[in-house]
A and B are shown apart, each in its own frame.
Chain A
Amino acid sequence: MSAKISVAVTVNGTPHTADVEPRLLLADFLRENLDLTGTHVGCEHGICGACTILMNGDSVRSCLTFAVQADGAEIETVESLGDIDNLSQLQEAFREHHALQCGFCTPGMLMTVTDMLRKYPLATDDDIRDGLSGNLCRCTGYQNIVRAVRSAANKRDGK
């Protein structure tokens, strides 16, 4: 065992402090220590995208980041978007276009798309597909996910 290190992190607006082992992945810190199980853990090597969260506003793989590296950071997880009675605009677009089946990839998709919508014009559906290429949906429901993102991008652009 290696010495625990103190970490202070703000998650969805709430400050937390904890002493953690350096090897604890941010994904496991969110799920196990903070009980925020919306962030899913799939491949643990950065391929599937299910664990994508926002760190200081940028989408990152929480399975490729250690909790100790989030010291001082602002983290946003899928729980920050909306709840069952009050979906965010993006979640509403996913619901409307049936962009989830089993739902395992959905939190990572939503956090990835949140960052994509802020950073890229997404002028074409090919741009959307490029942006989603780092998130795997094993139900293969990609067509509807692309439709949901198109709808969200159009709303963003006032179309």
Chain B
Amino acid sequence: MKPAPFEYVRATSVNEALAALAAGNGEAKLLAGGQSLVPMMNFRLVDAPVFVDINGIAELAGIEATANGGLRIGALTRHYTLETSDAVRTRFPVLHEAMKHVAHLAIRNRGTIGGSLSHADPAAELPAMAVLLNAMIVTVSSSGGREIAAEDFFLAPLTTALEPDEIVLAIDFPGLPPGAGWGFEEFAQRRGDFAVAGAAAVVVMDGDRVTEARISLMGVHDTPLRASAGEQALIAGGIDAAAAAARREVEPMNDLHGSADYRRHLVEALTRRVLRAAIEMAAR
């Protein structure tokens, strides 16, 4: 199918985009990489009188090292740029690994990190990475700027805390603790498909003791999920207890790619694998 008619505004600055959103009285939408939005427009699942194209806003793209050992990634940064970034590979190897599972080259050439987070597919890799890495989503709207913690950003499938006139400017990833280990595992029907289930972990060790545990799950809940019971179980018990706790925490859906029960099984198996890898890797 073809999209319904719409008016097109090409914004060349954030202020222009804000003005166009304001003029749309809450009905105008942003168009970034379009890799999730345009399919929905073609199917007429999404329709708006005005689309504001932000692809020409150069200030929104780029990866900047921050003083806390982290990265500030512009909302319009393409997946392929993340995939091939040395800064991402050295500061957030788990994010580098996750990018290998994001869609296909032609999609990665166009798709953006801000778009992926705003689309908020619970099976997508980048939202799960944002909650794993305690990212802050930096936004601006007509009423000013704010920073939203990733865990407060994702509200439901395809639903975020963003207001209709709000634009994601950048995603701030604070640096990982020194010596942190990590793991990433995803099960999908084919490379590049959305995850049937996926898990990622960050672990900090002091000798044989886990001092910090983070577990992030995708494809198994109505948002990307920090498995907090699993994290506590890892510190108090161990890998098996953590994997079992994570399994109890999720509320997966039945769909044609897998039953809820199968997804729970995957959560336990994948959580165990990522925790093993992270603990193995963490400096003692």
The answer to whether A and B assemble together is: yes
B53 contacts the other chain (Cβ, under 8 Å)? yes
Q: Once bound together, how far apart are the Cα atoms of A69 and B55, in whole Å?
A: 8
Interface segment among B5-13, B150-158, B207-215: the answer is B5-13
Q: Once bound together, how far apart are the Cα atoms of A63 and B40, in whole Å?
A: 12
A130 contacts the other chain (Cβ, under 8 Å)? yes
Contact A65 B34, beta carbon cutoff 8 Å: yes
A25 contacts the other chain (Cβ, under 8 Å)? yes
Are A23 and B190 CB-contacts (below 8 A) given A45-B43, A69-B55? no
Hey, what's the 0/1 contact readout for B23-40 against A, CB within 8 Å counting as 1?
000000000001100110
Q: Once bound together, how far apart are the Cα atoms of A64 and B39, in whole Å?
A: 7
Most chain B CB inside 10 Å of its own CB: which residue of A46, A49, A58, A135: A46
- A116 contact from B43, B105, B110, B190, Cβ within 8 A: B105
For window 87-146 of chain A, which residues contact chain B by CB distance below 8 Å? 112, 115-116, 119, 129-131, 133-135
- B107 contact from A2, A23, A46, Cβ within 8 A: A46
The chain B residue sitting closest to A22, CB to CB, is: B8
B142 contacts the other chain (Cβ, under 8 Å)? no
A84 contacts the other chain (Cβ, under 8 Å)? no
Q: Once bound together, how far apart are the Cα atoms of A65 and B33, in whole Å?
A: 8
Hey, what's the 0/1 contact readout for B96-108 against A, CB within 8 Å counting as 1?
0000000111110
| 21 sampled A-B residue pairs with Cβ under 8 A | A2-B7, A22-B6, A22-B7, A23-B4, A23-B6, A46-B35, A58-B106, A58-B109, A59-B109, A61-B106, A61-B110, A64-B39, A64-B110, A66-B8, A68-B53, A71-B10, A112-B106, A119-B105, A134-B104, A134-B192, A135-B104
